[in-house]
Amino acid sequence: MRSPFRATLFACLLAVVCAGMLWAAYDWFQGRYLRAFSEHTAVFSGDPLRLPESLSGPGAIRLVHFWDPACPCNVGNQQHLTELVERYVPHGVEFYAVQKPGSHGQLPGTLSSLKTIDILPGSEQIPASPAVAIWDRSGKLAYFGPYSEGLTCNSSNSFIEPILQALDEGRAVSATHTLAVGCYCPWPVEPTK
């Protein structure tokens, strides 16, 4: 009679130990790789933005990607930005990147084709990143805001693809003030004294 009791006790202890190990592994994974997604509301206003003199005026459609290497939210849109580059460069769209002043890092290799703009007038006043500004062929700011709302960005929830499509077809777009909730990091730069 003692043997079945020991077998049951051993099975219960083994189940408790396995459950404890699974919980510890899950807790370790969650602490190391998962980050809580805190939604931030950001109001994007493109009023102060200007292209540098060398890029302003009539020309190609110009997309400027604002990014901060220290911002974990960038990861959520880099694949989508790569797809936009592949899709719209053949249509004559030019892609540029503005890195948050004072930050250090570089874009992934898949985005190495983005041309760098060191100083974009008005960029010190943008509220958050990642963000994007799009100028139409006449040199007028057509869109300024986030890539999308939510944690990640892809072609199904992107604000950018419809804007680029409309501009590519010659339709006018004016969406320079945007309110969005998503994964954004603060951008404002302290003025140098």
> What is residue 189's predicted lDDT score, i.e. its pLDDT?
58
H/E/C letters for each residue in 161-186?
A: HHHHHHHHCCCCCCECEEEEEECCEE
User: How many Cα atoms are found within 13 Å in the side-chain-facing hemisphere of 92?
Assistant: 11
Residues 53-93 have pLDDT tens digits of: 999 999 999 999 999 998 888 877 888 899 999 999 999 99
**Alpha carbon of residue 159 to chain centroid:** 12
Residues 95-106 have pLDDT tens digits of: 999 999 888 988
> What is residue 1's predicted lDDT score, i.e. its pLDDT?
47
For residue 19, give both structure tokens.
């459950």
